[in-house]
Amino acid sequence: MATASKNPHLPFGDQQTAPWYGKDILSVKQFSRMDLDHIFEVAHEMRAMVERVGAFDLLKGKILANLFYEPSTRTSSSFMAAMQRLGGAVIPISEVRYSSVAKGESLPDTVRTLACYSDVVVLRHPEVGSAALAAKHCDKPVINAGDGVGEHPTQALLDTFTIHEELGRLDSLVVTMLGDLKYGRTVHSLARLLGQFDNTDLHYVSPESLRMPREIIDEIAHGGAAQTEHTSLDDIIADTDVLYVTRVQRERFEDDSAYDRVKDAFVITPDVLAAAKEHMIVMHPLPRLTEISLECDQDPRAAYFRQMEYGMYVRMALLALVLGKA
| Helix/strand/coil for 108 | helix
Q: How far apart are CA 25 and CA 11, in angstroms?
A: 21
Phi-psi region of 7 (alpha: psi -120 to 50; beta: other; left: phi over 0): left
Nearest to 126 by CA among 101, 90, 161, 109: 101
Report the residue number, 119 or 151, with the smaller CB distance to ligand CP.
151
Report the residue number, 72 or 176, with the smaller CB distance to ligand CP.
72
Measured from the CB of residue 284, what is the shortest distance to ligand CP in angstroms? 8
Looking at residues 140 to 179 of the shown chain, list those that interact with ligand CP (rule: CB under 6 A): 155
Q: Quick check: 285 binds ligand CP (CB under 6 A)?
A: yes
R_g (Cα) of the chain, nearest Å: 19
> Binding-site residue total for ligand CP (CB under 6 A)?
9
Q: How far apart are CA 242 and CA 301, in angstroms?
A: 10
Report the residue number, 5 or 76, with the smaller CB distance to ligand CP.
76
Q: Quick check: 81 binds ligand CP (CB under 6 A)?
A: no
Residues 6+ apart with CB under 8 A from 102: 96
Would you tell me how many other CB atoms lie within 10 Å of the CB of residue 27? 22
Q: Quick check: 75 binds ligand CP (CB under 6 A)?
A: yes
- The separation between CA 117 and the C-alpha centre of its own chain, rounded to angstroms, equals 25
Measured from the CB of residue 185, what is the shortest distance to ligand CP in angstroms? 9
Please identify which residue in 127, 286, 293, 299 interacts with ligand CP, judged by CB under 6 A. Answer: 286
Interface segment toward ligand CP; rule CB under 6 A; list 4-12, 202-210, 247-255, 281-289? 281-289
Q: Mask of contacts with ligand CP, 9-28, x by CB under 6 A?
A: --------------------
DSSP string, 221-248: HHTT--EEEES-STTTGGG-SEEEE---
Query: What letter represents residue 281's amino acid?
Result: I
Report the residue number, 132 or 286, with the smaller CB distance to ligand CP.
286
C-alpha distances out from residue 278 to 61, 117, 163, 200, 294, Å = 47, 50, 15, 19, 19
Interface segment toward ligand CP; rule CB under 6 A; list 13-21, 28-36, 166-174, 280-288? 280-288
Interface segment toward ligand CP; rule CB under 6 A; list 74-82, 94-102, 165-173, 231-239? 74-82
Find residue 124's DSSP bridge partners: 68
Measured from the CB of residue 154, what is the shortest distance to ligand CP in angstroms? 9
Please identify which residue in 38, 44, 74, 164 interacts with ligand CP, judged by CB under 6 A. Answer: 74
Report the residue number, 74 or 137, with the smaller CB distance to ligand CP.
74
Cβ–Cβ under 8 Å, residues 147 and 127: yes
Looking at residues 203 to 242 of the shown chain, list those that interact with ligand CP (rule: CB under 6 A): none
Report the residue number, 155 or 240, with the smaller CB distance to ligand CP.
155
Report the residue number, 72 or 130, with the smaller CB distance to ligand CP.
72
Please identify which residue in 72, 110, 160, 246 interacts with ligand CP, judged by CB under 6 A. Answer: 72
Query: What letter represents residue 8's amino acid?
Result: P
Positions touching ligand CP (CB under 6 A) are 72-76, 155, 285-287
